[in-house]
Amino acid sequence: MDKLKSIRWKQRFQNLDRAFCQLERGLAITNPSDIEQQGIIQSFEFTFELCWKTLKDYLESQGVICQFPREVIKKAFQHQILAEGECWLDMLGKRNMLAHTYDENLAMEAYKLIKDDFAPEIRTLVQLLRKYNEHEAD
């Protein structure tokens, strides 16, 4: 294992862990206002970005080279880091769409997907990466 790449993914993971906690705080709001929903969506976009970049760094620390988000997701699925590859590809598509358009109906749909489908998948990844991080620390 490349020592520098191992350090890099752990540093990136710390940022991901904090970002996910922020997303969870937003999702804990009961009946969020429109502006709160926008903040939650932006928090998801940021958290998703950190997810794929952390996965990329982790995979590279394991000798798996990949560059682009779709490729990283597919490699992580192949290496059984992600169990729901299709959900992650859907997240990628939604993140890309949300970053370039704003539509109230789309935002409502995105908020529901983030809360019901995407956040649980991110939580699973964060928990797994915590275990990897603790295991490597031993």
User: Which residues in 86-118 are b (16+ Cβ under 10 Å) and which e?
Assistant: ebbbebbebbeebeeeeeeeebeebbebbbeeb
What pLDDT is stored for residue 34 in this prediction?
Answer: 87
CB burial string 52-77: b at 16+ within 10 A, e below = bbbbbbbbbbbebebeebeebbbbbb
* Domain at 19, CATH number: 1.20.120.330
For residue 138, what pLDDT band results from cuts at 50, 70 and 90? low
Taking the C-alpha atoms of residue 84 and residue 36, their distance in angstroms, rounded to an integer, is: 28
Residues 8-61 pLDDT 10s: 999 999 999 999 999 999 999 999 998 899 899 999 999 999 999 999 999 999
Number of independent structural domains in the chain = 1
Can you tell me the mean pLDDT for 95-114? Answer: 79
Domain encompassing residue 70: 3-137
As a whole number, mean pLDDT of residues 85-89 equals 95
Residue 27 one-letter amino acid = L
